[in-house]
A and B are shown apart, each in its own frame.
Chain A
Amino acid sequence: MLRFRRSASRLQENFNLEALKKAFINPCYLQAEQERRRALGVDSEAAALALKDNIQLSEKGAGFTKSFLTDWCRVNFPSLRSEGVESVVAHLTSSPVVSYVARNLGIEDLTMSAECPVPDDVLHSTFMAVIGALEESSGVEQTGVFLRDFLATQLIGKDLFDMWTVVDPMGLLVEELTQRNLPLPEPRLVRAAGASTVLPLYFVGLYSDKKLLAQGPGETLVAAEEEAARVALRKLYGYTENRRPFDFSPLQPHQKQLIQAVSSS
């Protein structure tokens, strides 16, 4: 009990403790516990488990996480394609990232699981259940801030194309430019050095309407063209390295009042 309360105050959230406790009980634990009781010869009716598992909470949390992160990405990268947004969200809600976050928040200690150490997928569903419990106890807005603080920060230092596998960046760039009614990109060799050596270097620039969109380096002309297309896509989507950092500042009191006023009216 004490540990649950401490855990809630560590995350600086107001949890409904009953919901929080329920969030940590996984179905695999319940199964294992029932089998253990049966093996011990305890009558299943006499000592029925009065515990409920976290499947509902977990589903709720996962749905909310997905919708919130999608909205957050849309706000931060207004020009990013929906496939890009989907793959960024899929990366953030993937099992390795979520279980890494959950381990470093001390959720692993409280998780009731059949196996020990707790497998990644169980930890993933537990974290989602915690989010579901938070949504039940403190509302949508507070849960959004929680997700922003703990999941969206994992995006810091990540490149767009680490998360989003684009096989043919040139084709995608052509598609983007036709959507924006811009002339098609024209690759030109801008610079070259050491072409006859083992370490050649080529710079390919992409021109559209005689303006330089982007240039990229590469060891061969094909590689340089692909890199240039990736650079151009990053610029179009606003996901360059020198972009403005994400806003992770806590909600100001007057913002909170505004939101309350909007929601009450």
Chain B
Amino acid sequence: MTSRGTPSRFLQSVLQNGVGRYVCQLKRLSIIFSKNAQSSLGIREFIEEGVVDYAKNNPSTVVYVSPQSCRIPKIVAEYLNGNVREEIVTSKTSTQISEVITKLTNQSGLDIIRLRKPFHTDNPSIQGQWHPFTNRPPSIGPIRPQKQDA
């Protein structure tokens, strides 16, 4: 499939975030892991070491730690605009999990799809849209088809 067929959006932020003040868009973070499975070794380590510091550094995020009997530990992030993202962290080390959580914290929660351009503006042109008379001195007469011999 060509890139034209895939869904796309413009570069944007939620509610012009950061123009006035920055609001962390991550609302809720649930860490789901098993108490004794091999695959959640790294996440248990992270919970012992880093999760309290994380909650202290991010006072706007609610962190839930829920031990369940599961084989696949995961991190569920809920954003202010209602989007939910799940990250599976099977057999990841504590530092890798910390990176995943930092990434989830910094995201805006908008859909992760193709961006049409890496920049966006609400005012595309300061001097106005181009029209046939742009930069045309008024002394020249009306626009005509070009002469063949010229």
Q: Do A203 and B123 touch across chains, with their CB atoms under 8 A apart? A: no
- Would you mind naming 22 contact pairs between A and B with Cβ atoms under 8 Å apart? A6-B59, A6-B60, A7-B60, A9-B60, A10-B24, A10-B60, A101-B15, A104-B15, A105-B80, A148-B20, A149-B19, A149-B20, A150-B20, A153-B16, A156-B16, A193-B133, A193-B142, A193-B143, A203-B133, A242-B127, A250-B20, A250-B21
Complexed CA–CA distance, A248 and B17 (Å): 11
Which residue in chain B gives the minimum CB-CB distance to A9? Answer: B59
List chain B positions with a Cβ less than 8 A from chain A.
14-16, 19-21, 23-24, 27, 59-62, 80-82, 122-123, 126-127, 131-133, 138, 142-143
Give min CB distance, A64 to chain B, whole Å: 18
For chain A, the bracket of interface size reads 35 or more
Q: Do A241 and B126 touch across chains, with their CB atoms under 8 A apart? A: yes
A190 at the binding interface (Cβ < 8 Å):
yes
How many A-B residue pairs have C-beta atoms within 8 angstroms? Tell me. Answer: 72
Contacts of B21 in A (CB 8 A): 12, 149, 250
Contacts of A105 in B (CB 8 A): 15, 23, 80
A170 at the binding interface (Cβ < 8 Å):
no
Give min CB distance, B71 to chain A, whole Å: 30
Q: Do B19 and A153 touch across chains, with their CB atoms under 8 A apart? A: yes
Which residue in chain B gives the minimum CB-CB distance to A7? Answer: B60
A11 at the binding interface (Cβ < 8 Å):
yes
A61 at the binding interface (Cβ < 8 Å):
no
Complexed CA–CA distance, A250 and B19 (Å): 10
A3 at the binding interface (Cβ < 8 Å):
yes
Contacts of A84 in B (CB 8 A): none
Contacts of B122 in A (CB 8 A): 156-157
A37 at the binding interface (Cβ < 8 Å):
no
Complexed CA–CA distance, A20 and B138 (Å): 63
Which residue in chain A gives the minimum CB-CB distance to B123? Answer: A241
Give min CB distance, B87 to chain A, whole Å: 21
Q: Which 9 pairs from chain A and chain B are nearest by CB? A: A149-B20, A157-B122, A10-B60, A153-B16, A9-B59, A106-B80, A193-B143, A248-B20, A104-B15
